[in-house]
Structure 1
Amino acid sequence: MTSVFANAGIAQRQLARPVEWYLTPRDFTERTAVYLEVALDLFVMAAEAALAEAGLGAEAIDTIVTVSSTGIATPSLEARAMARMGFRSDVARVPVFGLGCAGGVTGLGLAAKLARAAPGSTILFVAVELCSLALRTDNVGKADIIATALFGDGGAACVVTSGDEGFVQLCGNAEKTWPETLDIMGWEMESRGMGVVLNQAIPAFTRRHMHEAMKQLLEPQGLHVGDVDRFIVHPGGAKVVDAMETALGLGQGSLDHEREVLRLHGNMSAPTALFVLDRARNAGLPPLSVLTALGPGFTASTLTLKRAA
């Protein structure tokens, strides 16, 4: 397995539990208990950081959009966080499951739609994933080996409003789902928990299809691929990043923020795109960017970003 880890482009990752915990077989009940504990802590940590940067208290939030696909929580994470964070009792809750790696982009686009639909409202978007809870030491196949080398845990959050505040305007989002591609990426529900479905053809599929898909996604917005100053890409893996550069006609190595997030955190599924967006923001966003990710379905999700004046 050494070569798999060496080629992953990952130097460090954050995990919900110490490495030793994963060496013992765990059933779905044990994995769920860890999810409820650690995912809630991550939700609160990310949400509090986003609110602090926005200069807001939890009572200012009208709607919470929560994206997570690596565990089951009913009541969902935002309900469990209400007492700890002080959200209003009338806050609207929108938990979203099943988006996988595309969740950061699709969820942020959903938050933007909700903000536009209710002018004056303030939306909190939180993405939390504990991918490590799917790591296996029993019945290990190729997908399990790749997942063990690739995935990490993390959470991210941001505040979305319908006003002019903030560093970027969320202008348009779009998705494309290819038919008969359900076996490319996702989960298999098993007695021991969630088993990863990860097709090794993803980089090749990306190289073949992503340029035409991006043209179709941007065309209704009156945009072309060449109009985009910066693509901000979910780094699904080192080979996927390479494939995105090829498909979109980008210079080799141009997706530098993506590779750095992958190196420091691994693929955290939904939150990862927000980690890349944060690095791009801190480096200085160009006038027009497109945030994009690939996820189960098999689906490409995009969100068009215009730098705030």
Structure 2
Amino acid sequence: MNNTAALVSLATSVPPYQFHQKQILECARDLLADRYPQFDTLASLFANTGIRNRYGVKPIEWYLEQRGWPERTQAFLEGAEILFIDVVQQALARADLAADEIDTVVTVCSTGIATPTLDARVAGKLGFRADVSRVPVFGLGCAGGVSGLSIASRLAQARPGTNVLFVALELCTLAVRHDELTKANIVAASLFGDGAAAVVLRAGDGGATRIEASGEKLWPDTLDIMGWSVDPEGFGVIFQRTIPDFVTENMGPAVREILARVQLEHDDVDRFICHPGGTKVILALERALSLGQGTLDHERDVIADYGNMSAPTVLFVLERALAQGLPSRSVMTALGPGFTASCVSLRQAA
């Protein structure tokens, strides 16, 4: 019996409102150009992201009005609950499980605050048992899809035979700011969308795709690279350094270091499945991981179709890679606030 956690099912979901990138650019121009002289210079960012479409939990008109914490939080709670239920029901159906067969729920989200947590709010609607173990995780940002999968897999491995549900859900669009006249805010407006992914994991009874190993690297003195500031308006995005340059310089050695801890080398990896932060980040990842330009094809397709949804995005990439057929060993990677690199090695059963 193999007690490593295996993927039983994977599902993804987005909210109902689709936005075209050109539409978002025009809205941003209407809101910011008159007050921010550098806007026209930065407007090229919208075309250079590689994004065609994104999805939001509210219609486009909602974002054109100034919003504070109460409105943002109400929109988060309403939208997140609907999306959570939808993606979990899909994952359960694909796993041929009922909600009361889930033993542990790991929820990763960094774009809204809910106490009681999202898993508690939807427990009755979904039908979770009263004794279900709940593990809500906040603050992982874009690394959350990989770090959360690692956490969920270890919990599954600790109790073989139990069903662990992992949900990564982010409503990035609710952080849109009218008052932040900064390059970081323009970058955020050009990149982020909403989405969710859910994975069911179980250890002890085989499974075609297994979580072989995982690891992280936290760089010292990098708290300013990415994160949230908090003020009366809501979350404000922090981008203080050029992330593609950091990726090019640091990601390769970090991945080799993480792999070495689990007795693997770069050449042992048949495919990388990466969180795509944007076109420039994808190019930087290909350079850093010694991949040919264009290798990260699913990553480009996902960013084009959905934008950067933070934590769930890499699981959208994994979904496409699974549909195509995984090779013997794949390694998932993501970068997020901390500044942190997270890796999960997937082993395909022979």
Q: Same fold by TM (over 0.5)?
A: yes
Aligned partner letter, 2:141? G
Shift of 1:164: 3.4
* CA apart distance, 1:28: 0.6
Mapped to 2, the partners of 1:111 and 1:172 lie a distance apart of 12
Q: Tell me by how many angstroms 1:102 deviates.
A: 0.4
- Percent of paired sites with the same residue: 56
Q: Give the Å deviation of 1:200.
A: 4.5
Q: Which residue of 2 aligns with 1:269?
A: 310
Alignment-derived partner of residue 85 in structure 2: 44
Structure 1 unaligned runs (5+)?
none
Change (3 A) 1:300 1:101: same
Specify the alignment match of 2:173 in structure 1.
132
SS of 1:14's equivalent?
A: strand
By how many angstroms is 1:163 displaced?
A: 2.6
Cα RMSD for the two superposed structures:
0.9
1:256 is the counterpart of 2:297: yes
What is the aligned partner in structure 2 of residue 149 from structure 1? 190
- Within a 5 Å distance, the mapping from 1:1-309 to structure 2 comes to 1-309=42-350
Q: Note if contact 2:224-2:241 (Cα within 8 Å) is conserved in structure 1.
A: no
Q: Supply the distance in 2 between the matched residues of 1:193 and 1:100 (Cα, whole angstroms).
A: 16
Residue-by-residue CA offset, 1:255-292 (whole Å, 9 max, x unaligned)? 00000000000000000011000000001100000001
Unpaired runs of at least 5, structure 2: 1-41
Distance in 2, Cα, partners of 1:71 & 1:306: 34
Distance across 2 between alignment mates of 1:56 and 1:250: 39
Mapped to 2, the partners of 1:232 and 1:59 lie a distance apart of: 32
- Classify the secondary structure of the residue corresponding to 1:140: coil
Cα pair 2:161 2:205 within 8 Å, conserved: no
Rounded to whole Å, the distance in 2 between the matches of 1:288 and 1:204 is 28
Pairwise CA distance, 1:188: 0.4
- With normalisation by structure 2, the TM-score equals 0.87
Deviation at 1:4, TM superposition (A): 1.2
C-alpha separation between the residues in 1 aligned to 2:298 and 2:204? 28
Runs of 4+ deviating beyond 4 Å:
none
Helix, strand or coil at the partner of 2:55: coil
Look at both structures and tell me which one has the larger radius of gyration over its CA atoms. Answer: 2
Equivalent residues of 2:210, 2:347 under 8 A apart: yes
What SS does the aligned partner of 2:229 have?
A: strand
Q: Distance in 1 between matches of 2:206 and 2:57?
A: 34
Aligned partners of 2:167, 2:89: CA distance in 1, in Å?
10
Counterparts of 1:220 and 1:164 in 2: how far apart (Å)?
26
Q: String of CA shifts for 1:160-215, please: whole Å, max 9, x gaps.
A: 00133544100111000000000000100111100001234110011001111111
Letter in 2 for 1:164: D
Are 1:22 and 1:137, in contact at CA under 8 Å, matched by a contact in 2? no
Q: Deviations over 1:68-92 (max 9, x none)?
A: 0000000101101111110101000
Q: Shift in Å at residue 125 of structure 1?
A: 0.3
TM-score, normalised to structure 1, is 0.98
Deviation at 1:19, TM superposition (A): 1.4
1:30 partner letter: E
